[in-house]
Amino acid sequence: MRISEIFDKVKGKKVIIAGDSMIDSYTFGRIDRDSPEAPVPVVNIEKEKLKLGGAANVALNIKSLGLEPILCTVIGDDSDGQDFVRLCRESNIDTDGIIVDNSRKTTNKNRVIVSDKHIIRIDNESTKNISEKLRDFFVETVNKLSTKSEIIIFQDYDKGTLDKSSISEIIKQNKKSFISVDPKKRNFFNYENVNLFKPNLNEILNAYASNDSSEKNLKKISKELSIKNKIENLMITLSERGLMIHNNQGNFKYKIKRKKIIDVSGAGDTVISLATLLFYLKLPEKFIGEMCNLAGGITCMKSGVNAIDLKELIKNAEINNLDIYI
């Protein structure tokens, strides 16, 4: 089978992405002098750029892979929220699942870039849980829209859109769906009976209050968590070490080929999007591992948060002869 045929199989399939979204903003400038008010440089702004982030960046990745994302998220009643909706519409992302909460801010992560170097990030956000009333409406919205889809991705950034109750209700009402999770600390152990659970190395070690990143310990933790929470496939991304997959077939580790890392922002969004698709299609672990390493590496070679380019991914996969693992 040609690699392009895999994506042809799912082209146009609808995918629910439920979770925390944000604006990723970039301020590009130059430094000519220090401030007379404090021992800090003065950045003269030359250009500003806004991008979709968080669950919305997963939606962009899903769209880039040829599927149709349905984004379910909560934003604020503010200018960033207006920009967020505009960017979604410009990217042809379904906005039916976007809920406006006038009591909170739209998360904005502003990165200041000087001479291609990221010198500071300024976050403007609210991380408290959404109200019980809004949570119930969010769950109702997700469950209503999920009737159009066989796949649900939870994108959790600990910004308050998801909690134990909403997670449980959505999973309970969508037992026939393929459910994948990109977790954070607050709800880490609240995801049960899911098909794919994808923490990164820091997230899983923090969850277990461990600093032992050895392969032996990660295998032990993976097995324990998979049994306890009834997880079908557990994937741990290990940055430059590649990734690990644990399921009932065993443990598998895939090393990443060395690449020039420019920016790791958004790499996890790309990997959860691609891994969800490949596990949904029940493709071999070796192929999934190598493809996800490749996709994450491509994303890290670009500055800023970027969705994967499908043509570039397929071209690189063919160059690396990954079709032999299908």
pLDDT digits (tens, 9 = 90+) for 266-289: 578 999 999 999 999 999 999 999
What mean pLDDT, rounded, does the chain reach? Answer: 94
Largest CA distance in the chain: 64
Burial class (CB in 10 A: 0-12, 13-18, 19+), 199: buried
Architecture of domain 3-32+43-325: 3-Layer(aba) Sandwich (3.40)
Overall average pLDDT of the 66-85 stretch: 98
Positive/negative CA dihedral, 285, 291, 293, 299: negative
pLDDT band at 302 (very low <50, low <70, confident <90, very high): low
How many CA atoms does the CB half-sphere of 26 hold within 13 Å?
Answer: 18
User: Is pLDDT at 297 greater than 90 in this prediction?
Assistant: no
Of 182, 269, 309, 323, catalytic: 269
Residues 6+ apart with CB under 8 A from 79: none
pLDDT band at 299 (very low <50, low <70, confident <90, very high): confident
Predicted local distance difference test score (pLDDT) of residue 227? 97
Predicted local distance difference test score (pLDDT) of residue 298? 85
Predicted local distance difference test score (pLDDT) of residue 1? 81
* 78 among known catalytic residues: no
Name which of 133, 131, 180, 202 is nearest 16 in CA terms: 180
Q: What is the pLDDT of residues 92-124, one digit of tens each?
A: 999 999 999 999 999 999 999 999 889 999 999
Predicted local distance difference test score (pLDDT) of residue 292? 95
Q: Report the alpha-carbon distance of residue 213 to residue 240 in Å, rounded.
A: 13
Name which of 137, 135, 107, 136 is nearest 121 in CA terms: 107
Q: What is the pLDDT of residues 165-208, one digit of tens each?
A: 999 999 999 999 999 999 999 999 999 999 999 999 999 999 99
User: Is pLDDT at 259 greater than 90 in this prediction?
Assistant: no
pTM above 0.85, yes or no: yes
Question: Domain residues of the chain, as ranges?
Answer: 3-32+43-325
